[in-house]
Amino acid sequence: MAIEYKWEILSLYTAPSEDGLSNVVKKINWRFQATDGQHYGDSYEVTELSAPSADGYIAYDDLTEETIVGWIKANRDYDDLVALVNQRLQSNKTPSIVEKNPPWEYPIQVDGTEEYLVVIDDQPNDLDKIWGPLLWDSFKINKGLVERGIEDVSVPDDMTVFRKGLFPVDEPLVLNDRAKIYRVGYSAQPEYDEKYQTKSNLSWVTDTGRAVGTYFLSDKTVDEIKTSFKEIAQQERNRKMFAGTEMELNGETVSTYTDSGTYLLALNKANSMSDSDTVKWKLVNSWIVASKEDLVAIANFIDSKMQEYYDEEYAYVQQIDACTTVEELKTLYNSVMGE
């Protein structure tokens, strides 16, 4: 199978304010992976960026993965990066040392996703007496014990026994006369509408030998619903920008993305061309040979569509802010989103 390469932007580090600009990206934490379908090689790195000019600044909410990757490539030798992950891919395909399980079976196997709850003084519903639920992590468990006044006992760093499933199934692990660790289970999740309600598992029962959490529902406040609706409106605007929109170009109907990254690429490329130049340009599902005039037309179209989407979002936000009750918000959401 041919090798495939994939970028993953893990996090962005920003300066809240710099030279009159807001949320300026200073560092990018990223991963680049090569895979042949069965094995992989990757590199986790951090790229530091120089201060942007006012003309080159892109608002944080308008950043795209393509833009971020472009910044990384401008600061990192791409050929060297590809060679590095290819080398690690080959090392993973033919390792010199291989970890293997012992040639006998443990009575119970776990997949690493099981949760545990630390309970102090048999009081599972006192927030000051529990720690978790959390995946098995000796450091976190010991930290929680110390914070709750249990300093004479700890779980060992080597958790092989517990990872292999030898932790009691339906019994707590008794650490001392005050502290126990339970495997976690959950009661059936209730049906609820996450737009208007929140779910929490605040009640624990341990009499079955496990810590069973029961979910409770509570209604969101008007302000909480407004905030979530505004986030949905922003997501919908972004979806439209990246969905592709038809436009007329030289008598033909073509589709182009209408996001800020595509807009800047088209505009910057047009500004670097003479009137007689042409370039191969990728649209949503096709390629064209584009002149400077074509790229200006594409950029102008994208600019108008982006403004249209922003205007739609702004109008919806104004309607959201005008609502004073949950029922008004429900009616508005159903009329706009068609539910």
pLDDT of residue 171: 86
Question: For 240-281, how does the pLDDT look when each residue is reduced to its tens digit (9 = 90+)?
Answer: 999 999 999 999 999 999 999 999 999 999 999 999 999 999
φ and ψ of 259, to 5 deg: -100, 170
pLDDT band at residue 92, thresholds of 50, 70 and 90?
confident
- Within 8 A by CB and 6+ apart from 122, the residues are 180, 206
Describe the crossing of helices 260-271 and 65-75 by its angle, rounded to 10 degrees: 50
pLDDT at residue 154, rounded to an integer:
83
pLDDT at 199: 83
pLDDT of residue 109: 55
pTM: 0.51
Q: What is the pLDDT of residue 77?
A: 94
* Contact assessment for residue 148 and residue 129, using Cβ atoms and an 8 Å cutoff: yes
- Enumerate residues 6+ apart whose C-beta is below 8 A from 245: 255, 256, 257, 258, 305
Q: Is the pLDDT of residue 157 over 90?
A: no
C-alpha torsion sign, points 282, 287, 292, 293: negative
Q: Is the pLDDT of residue 2 over 90?
A: no
| Whether the predicted pLDDT of 98 surpasses 90 | no
**Over 70: is that where the pLDDT of 112 sits?**
no
Give the C-alpha separation, 129 to 144, whole Å. 10
Name the residue among 305, 336, 308 with its Cα closest to residue 320: 336
Domains of the chain with CATH codes: 4-93 (no CATH), 115-219 (no CATH), 222-337 (1.10.287)
Per-residue pLDDT, averaged over 64-86, amounts to 94
More confident residue, 338 or 33: 33
The token pair that represents 147 in the structure block = 């914070």
pLDDT at 193 over 80: yes
Strands (E), the chain: 4-18, 21-35, 40-48, 115-120, 130-135, 173-174, 179-186, 197-205, 211-219, 245-249, 252-256, 278-282, 287-291
What pLDDT was estimated at residue 253?
94
Q: Which residue has the tokens 């042949």?
A: 36
Does 328 score more than 90 pLDDT? yes
Structural tokens at position 297 = 């037309």
Q: pLDDT tens-digit profile of 5-47?
A: 999 999 999 998 888 889 999 999 999 999 988 888 899 999 9
Residues 6+ apart with CB under 8 A from 125: 202, 203, 204
The pair of three-digit structure tokens given for residue 94, joined into one six-digit string: 């033919």
pLDDT number for residue 284: 92
Q: Report the 10 Å Cβ neighbour count for 51.
A: 12
204-232: pLDDT as tens digits:
999 889 899 888 888 999 999 999 999 99
Contact 7, 85 (CB under 8 A): no
Report the C-alpha gap between 9 and 116 in whole angstroms. 31
Cα–Cα distance for residue pair 53/261, rounded to 1 Å: 16
